[in-house]
Amino acid sequence: MKLKYLLGSLAIVVITAFSACKKAGFLDKKAETLTEDKVFADSALTSALITDMYAFTGQDVIPARYTMITTPVNNEYGCLDDQTTLSMGYWDDPTKSVMQGTYTATNYAFNNYWTTYYRKIRQASLFMQKAVNSPISAPRKKRLMAEAKYLRAFFYIGLIRFYGGVQIMPNEPLDVQDPLISKRNTYKECVDFVVSELDAAAADLPAASAQDASEYGHATKGAALALKARILLTAASPLFNGNSFSSDANILPYITYSASYNSSLWQKAADALKAVIEMPDYSLVVDNSTRPGHGFWKMFLKGRRNSELITPYFWSGSALETYRFPRSRNGSGGYNNPSENAVANFGMQNGKSITDPTSGYNPANPYVNREPRFYYSIIYNQAPIWKSGSGTTLVPIDIYFNKSTGAMTADGIQAYYTRTGYYSRKMCNDSIAPGGIANSNRAYPVIRLAEMVMGYAEALNEMGQTEQAVTYLNKLRSRAGISSGSDNRYGIAVGISQADLRKVIQADYVAEFFQEGLFWYNTRRWRTAEITEKMNTTSMLVSRETNGTFTYAPGNAVVVNWQQRAYFAPIPQAEINKASTLIQNPGW
């Protein structure tokens, strides 16, 4: 990594931190010329460095990523799922360039992850080095040091998930005169390092139940252990465990945890996941009395703090509905349009896949009797949503071509509206008061307990404990409001095989975590991207016939050209050019 990425201006960092804390006067001349000594002699300024780092932890879940991570075309108005076949925004780029493989290592869409995360890593290391002598009280200093360690691990993991093994920097930030040999650490070294760092951070972080209300959103013991579980599950997965992705012996250590399959990695992941699940601080938000799956909806909307959120991220209150809802419902239309690829992963109310001939799915009436998570996530043709001026009436969304008039409806498929025939309802308030968008007091989930439960089910299944895996998967299916059935198995067949349950789990990951930023990483770690990301991003054109009935015709929103190299992001070419010792990822 080049020095310029390590030597960010401290003055700029402090200004940003003050902005996050909403302190007055941070743009005056004095603030702009603060020195390190002045910053770390002031407890408020020192703490502000930590606050600033949290602002960069939500890139994967926010619906408009340009606010934090820019791209070469500088119009990243989509969420991370919009860079997969699951969803797309109304801009062609960066989605098309990612999906069609036209980017190079010079202008790759996510090059700024490398730049931004290394800057934050340096910021965390600087804090740990300098805050030792700050005037902060000893107990608070101990906690903030643990938060800095957690945040540094968070940003390293962000890099590891994109690039594989990256360079682990010295604990003491480098000065401009210090020599630096740019060389990647192996994938195993990186994973082992962040696991050790998170264990150390967890020891000094408070439990969620003991955290002061004013500190909510800051790291807890559970947040550190959940992040550890996430990276251990990743390391156990097919892309990194016994991987034959590359035949180049020089690159393999940087993209593989174990060169030969190691079943014990699944056990390590399972143990870490179970440790979080068994913490008394967390529980799934369940409410099937109000309506089936109401807890799934309520968990996202009812306040910033609930029992399921492990790592929350705070963002503007009403922006989500503005970005995702149709224009007829006061939205801007097309920021995050679900694809038919995504819709196919939502099963039926009886828990069966739509491909199961016994599920009751009818392609001529495809939106009837789907599982509740579908209705909480997808706005489809004729989906009922409040409309301004309608009183308390739910009015259906019209997303169709009207054959009587020969024209598309106002919310139909067109530029800057929907490119797929769907709009997103995920995490949105589907009971908006007539007249405008509700300003919801909520937090976005960076990590929530459901991810730990799903991961544990996955790990159990990979260890051959398939029936135990069914038990944990059904905790989420039950909460989702899926019918239990007479056998109390929520649509999962008796005696299901490991391979078949793996497919069920992977589909349920989509249904549960759609547009929460997991799919990009999941389909890669599973090595299923060569299937899921090779198919075109599909749409659904609905036509209203002259007799008033609807017909459905799948189409292509984006024609995809998947390339195997896309399993890993390229290290920015500018960095490769500066150091012959920095090895590029395969194919780039």
User: Average pLDDT, stretch 249-262?
Assistant: 94
Which of 41-45, 242-246, 527-531 tops mean pLDDT? 527-531
Q: Phi first, then psi: give them for residue 538, nearest 5 degrees.
A: -100, 155
The tens digit of pLDDT for each residue in 178-211 reads 556 789 999 999 999 999 999 999 999 999 999 9
Helix (H) or strand (E) holding 522: helix 519-525
Q: What is the mean pLDDT of the chain?
A: 89
pLDDT at residue 329 tops 50: yes
Residues 6+ away with beta carbon under 8 Å from 102: 96
* pLDDT at position 433 over 80: no
HSE, side-chain direction, 13 A CA sphere, residue 106: 2
**What is the number of residues in the chain?**
588
Average pLDDT over residues 536-562: 96
pLDDT at 327: 92
Can you tell me whether residue 558 is helix, strand or coil? strand
Exposed, middle or buried, 136 (CB in 10 Å: 0-12/13-18/19+)? buried
In this predicted model, what pLDDT tens digit does every residue of 4-57 receive, in sequence order? 333 333 433 443 443 334 333 323 334 445 677 788 888 888 888 999 999 999
Is residue 94 reached through a cis peptide bond, with omega within 30 degrees of 0 on the bond before it?
Answer: yes
**Span 490-508, pLDDT tens digits:** 999 999 999 999 999 999 9
Q: Given this model, what pLDDT does residue 320 score?
A: 86
- pTM of the shown model: 0.93
Round to whole Å and give the CA distance between 96 and 560: 8
User: What is the rounded CA–CA span in Å between residue 155 and residue 113?
Assistant: 9
What tens digit of pLDDT does each residue of 294-314 get?
999 999 988 889 999 999 998
| pLDDT per residue as tens digits for the range 367-424 | 999 999 999 999 999 999 988 777 778 899 999 999 999 999 999 999 889 999 999 9
Scanning the structure block, which residue is given the tokens 């910053």? 39
Query: Residue 523: is its pLDDT beyond 70?
Result: yes
Q: What local confidence, expressed as pLDDT, does residue 98 receive?
A: 86
pLDDT above 90 coverage of the chain, percent: 71
What pLDDT score does 174 carry?
65
Model confidence at 58, pLDDT cuts 50, 70, 90, reads: very high
**Distances from the Cα of 354 to the Cαs of 374, 421, 488, in angstroms?**
12, 19, 20
pLDDT at 35: 74
Asked if the model's pLDDT at residue 474 lies above 60, the reply is yes
Euclidean distance between CA atoms 468 and 425, whole angstroms: 32
**Ramachandran angles phi, psi of 163, nearest 5°:** -110, -15
Environment class of residue 203 by beta-carbon count within 10 Å: exposed (0-12), middle (13-18) or buried (19+)?
exposed
Angle at 576 between CA 570 and CA 579, to 5 degrees: 150
* Complete DSSP assignment for 232-263: HHHHHSTTTBS--S---TTTHHHH-SBSS--T
The angle, 0 to 180 degrees and rounded to 10, between the axes of the packed helices 498-513 and 449-462 is 170
Q: Say if CB 296 and CB 372 are below 8 A apart.
A: yes
- How many angstroms separate the CA atoms of 59 and 66, rounded? 9
